[in-house]
A and B are shown apart, each in its own frame.
Chain A
Amino acid sequence: MNASPPAIALESVSKRYGSRMIIHDLSFTVETGEIVGFLGPNGAGKTTTMRMIAGFTAATSGRVRVAGHDMATDNVAAARHVGYLPERPPLYDTLDVSAYLRFVARVKGVARAAISAELERVTTACRLEAVVRQEIFKLSKGYRQRLGLAQALLGAPAVLLLDEPTAGLDPGQIQETREVIRAFGADHAVLFSTHILAEVTLICRRVAIIDHGRLLAIDSPAGLRRAVEATHRVTLLASAPAVDLREELLAIEGVRAVDVRAVADDHARLEVDCRVDARPGVEAAIARAVATRWELHRLERQEPTLESVFLRYVTAPPSRGDAA
């Protein structure tokens, strides 16, 4: 049996504010060396979940463990293993960048002799060299965001929690920040929330989708795509009689369903949406069958995008009764 506990473990975690249930029975783990993307629409409960893992907010029920330490009973020990960048970078405007990072490093227990080297490491990683002596209130939004990330990286914590780390950055900075996260995630556990779906595909091993405080799915981006759509879509544009075309298409092996609509401004043409098995050759058979009898204008095979997966999850009606 593996002796080391998961870096992050949530066991049936719920959070209630007054009579409002924000998080329902959330359970998942994040292992060391894994980057997990946290996806969900605004108000889904991502920030509350992050705050519970970071120890800023206590769970109403259930258990949050970080590096084996229970957040409810042992939060100071747990906090030693956490680097946390909240949604709004927590910066002291009156301090300069260096004094701020020194403060965080001292509290995190970085040895006095190692503080300078540690500051250099994070300022280089986050490209803050140019502003080390500047007061924080003078920093641009991009620098503020990166300074927030730098403080989270101080002390190389086992767990990195990032609440929308690329918000407010320009495309170049987003790219750099992704590289920092990717490099850090190679031997640490990273959980980060984002609205940018492409980001998740690019750097995450797994994706957790949350909505209305419930975990809807957690899997690899490819696994989620597979789970949502075992079938692919083939769309085509043809000039043909609707009934005949539909029968012809359904007769082809591998075609599961066919949806035929007339093009709004050209009734001679039909727009066809086919659900087909996820195996090669089906669209070629469709093309042959249509082109030999009628006129085929266009044909394309569409693989599911993470957007469609995400929307499919978060727009689906809740499958369970509301516990609140």
Chain B
Amino acid sequence: MSGTLAVYRKELSGYFRSPIAYYVVAVFLLGTGYFFLYNVFLTGETGMAATFQNMGMLLVTLAPVVSMRLLAAEYGAGTAELLLTLPLAPWQIVAGKFLGAVTILLAMAAGTLVDLVPLYLFGAPETTTLLAGYLGLVLLGMACLAIGLLCSALTENQIVAALLTVAVLLALWFVGHLETFQRSAALRGLVGYLSFAQHFGDFIRGLVRTEGVAYFLIVCAAALTASASVLQWRR
């Protein structure tokens, strides 16, 4: 555990000593702020549903920027030779790095809480729906980061890692659209189940379904386990 914690602390200080964390959080908050103002003041929405939808899309495009350096940069800079020869199991490296990235995600989500102030001041939003939306946002972000971590383990090039992650995340976000083209009910069900957008949509509507929570957690677990295996395999 202390190894994981040491990696986590190193990751965080790495994030905040480079412009990446500031850039990602700033772009996310600017984007979210714009969409919030648009949705609330121009289209007259009294909740966060549309804003959450936009936040989900923003997250899918920004998560690769956070995750691309996680392991690719270690291989590229030669520090993997330190990390993999220290007394650390691959899962400890993966867990420490993932938690570091999730902390950035939480900072991004926390920054958007400021949007709730006018909602509560001038309206009566449903708190449980908002909580469900935030839970969905964090779970979606965790799944995106876990997939990004796996892509980052596969290459030494951060740009390649980012492009790979964007491709996988966009595919998982839009895969639900294939539902209408499927004749078989089983395939329709599978395509729908794989869709990030559909599960996230449930959370936005205030529905915290076990199926949705389990889906995002399974994606995280599978991607993190695969990342640890890739580290081991690359030896």
Contact = CB atoms under 8 A, between A and B. Distances in A.
Interface string B1-29: 01101110110011001100000000000
Interface string A81-111: 0101010111111110001000110111100
B14 A92 contact: yes
A294 interface: no
A145 interface: no
Interface residues of A, number: 30
A76 interface: yes
Most A C-beta atoms less than 10 A away, residue of B7, B13, B77, B86: B86
B118 interface: no
Contacts of A76: 87-89
A90 B78 contact: yes
B155 to A, nearest CB: 18
A55 interface: yes
- Chain B interface main SS type: helix
Contacts of B82: 84, 86, 90, 104, 151
A116 to B, nearest CB: 16
A250 B85 CA distance: 59
Contacts of B6: 103, 106-107
B85 A109 contact: no
Contact of B79 (A77, A79, A92, A109): A92
B86 A86 contact: no
B81 interface: yes
B213 interface: no
B77 A93 contact: yes
A51 B84 CA distance: 10
A103 B86 CA distance: 11
A48 to B, nearest CB: 12
A115 B235 CA distance: 30
A104 B79 contact: no
Given A56-B235, A107-B3, A51 B81 contact: yes
Contact of A94 (B9, B14, B80, B235): B14
Chain B contact patch, size range: 20 to 34
A150 interface: no
Contacts of A55: 84-85, 235
Contact of B81 (A56, A92, A107): A56
A92 B80 CA distance: 10
B78 A92 contact: no
B78 to A, nearest CB: 4
Interface string A148-169: 0001000000000000000000
A80 interface: yes
Contacts of B2: 106, 109
A51 B85 CA distance: 9
A173 to B, nearest CB: 21
Contacts of B9: 103, 106
Nearest to B89: A76
B78 A88 contact: yes
Interface string A56-74: 1110000000000000000
18 contacts: A55-B84, A55-B85, A56-B235, A58-B235, A76-B87, A84-B82, A88-B78, A88-B81, A89-B78, A90-B83, A94-B14, A95-B17, A103-B6, A103-B9, A103-B10, A107-B88, A108-B86, A109-B2
Interface of A: 51, 54-58, 76-77, 79-80, 82, 84, 86, 88-95, 99, 103-104, 106-109, 135, 151
Given A84-B85, A90-B83, 8 more contacts: A56-B84, A57-B235, A58-B235, A76-B88, A76-B89, A90-B79, A91-B77, A108-B86
